[in-house]
Amino acid sequence: QVHLVESGGGLVQPGGSLRLSCAASGSIFSIHDMGWYRQAPGKQRELVATITSGGRTNYADSVKGRFTISRNNAKNTVYLQMNSLKPEDTAVYYCNVLVITGGYWGQGTQVTVSS
């Protein structure tokens, strides 16, 4: 079993920044891909960014140039630095990790961008 704890969400004004963190613990032998997804009210969950164990990253077009995903393999933690936030970035953000036994989701953290 893998347990994920997310932190860093909150309320921020347009143009502001937030940094999300997600720490994995439990039966972890090695983590493959790590990523962030988000779900806005009335919409489907969508990919925000992913990062492989080797550091290769992938971003949704809507966040390219504004968000940066990174990971600390020693701490089994993935981060999402979000800059130049827009109201349309408002959503619940979920962490996802892929290990040998399958994929796991965090509980989600709310990000609200509003003046």
- State the average pLDDT over residues 26-54: 92
Predicted confidence (pLDDT) at residue 27 exceeds the cutoff of 80: no
d(CA 30, CA 64): 28
Structure tokens at 19: 């940094």
pLDDT in tens, 98-110: 988 889 999 999 9
Residues 6+ apart with CB under 8 A from 50: 33, 34, 35, 36, 57, 58, 69
pLDDT, tens digit, 9 for 90 and up, residues 49-66 = 999 999 999 999 999 999
Q: What is the DSSP letter of 45?
A: -
Q: What's residue 81's pLDDT?
A: 98
Closest CA to 94 of 11, 1, 2, 9: 9
